[in-house]
């Protein structure tokens, strides 16, 4: 089911997208402690394709990372949810450079050209379901308890970071980099560097090909395996 409309904002520090839909998208399963309702998604990117993501996988940094923010249904509103330790669930999606445009992002990128200046908003008809913005394989992911990556950095987020990256072209990335921030400069490098793991446990949803546990352990990460192997993305 695709949303009816997308409301796209240049809020001065990121490109953020909200939706109008007959029923709010929800996620559950995959080891999540309950059901979470979609609120918005936004992006973090760098000044070039050597950086931009807020997470790394086996030391690899990606040119952009998308965060799909959800709040726990039981708390009623996102305002109440950010006050609870398990209030938010965020899906982290990495992007990798492709030789061709990603068609699912073409309407979004076209809209971004119209809101290059901060505090601008545009509404467009939604042409794709939210599932089109996620990797094909949503069963391979990493999970840990952490914080928001922007102030006030509340420790209220259950993070799900997908192992598989989504393609995007350099031409599409340039539209993000040409946006302007609150200070009149190009809106780039709006990412928080990876933070120390400290005592957090990183869970993996799978074993096998891809980013493997042994290499992560060699970097000093504590890796555990989830008993449930998939995030169920409902009504998106």
- The residues with which 89 forms a beta bridge, in sequence order, are 70, 158
- HSE-CB of 69 using CA atoms within 13 angstroms: 21
Nearest to 146 by CA among 211, 209, 88, 205: 88
Task: Give the Cα separation of 87 and 76 in Å (integer).
Answer: 10
- Cα–Cα distance, 44 to 13 (Å, whole number): 9
Among the options 13, 44, 55, 70, which is catalytic? 13
Q: How many helices (H) and strands (E) does the chain have?
A: 4, 15
| 67 is an active site residue | no
CB burial readout 47-69, b (16+ within 10 A) else e? eebebbbbbebeeebbbbbbbbb
Task: Give catalytic residue positions.
Answer: 13
């Amino acid at each position: 089911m695709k949303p009816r409309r997308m409301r796209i904002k240049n809020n001065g520090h990121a490109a953020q997208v909200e939706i109008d839909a007959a029923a709010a998208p929800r996620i559950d399963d995959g080891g999540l402690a309950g059901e979470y309702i979609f609120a918005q998604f936004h992006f973090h990117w760098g000044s070039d394709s050597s950086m931009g993501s807020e997470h790394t996988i086996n030391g690899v940094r990606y040119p952009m990372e998308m965060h799909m923010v959800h709040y726990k249904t039981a708390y009623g509103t996102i305002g109440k949810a950010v006050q609870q330790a398990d209030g938010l669930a965020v899906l982290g999606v990495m992007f990798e450079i492709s030789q061709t445009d990603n068609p699912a992002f073409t309407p979004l990128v076209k809209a971004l050209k119209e809101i290059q200046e901060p505090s601008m908003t545009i509404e467009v008809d939604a042409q794709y379901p939210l599932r089109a913005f996620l990797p094909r394989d949503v069963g391979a992911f990493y999970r840990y308890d952490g914080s928001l990556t922007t102030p006030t950095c509340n420790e209220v987020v259950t993070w799900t970071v997908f192992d598989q990256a989504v393609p995007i072209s350099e031409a599409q990335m340039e539209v993000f980099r040409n946006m302007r921030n609150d200070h009149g400069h190009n809106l780039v490098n709006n990412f928080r560097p990876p933070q120390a793991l400290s005592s957090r446990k990183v869970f993996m949803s799978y074993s096998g090909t891809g980013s493997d546990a042994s290499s992560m352990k060699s970097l000093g990460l504590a890796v555990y395996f989830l008993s449930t192997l998939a995030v169920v993305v409902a009504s998106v």
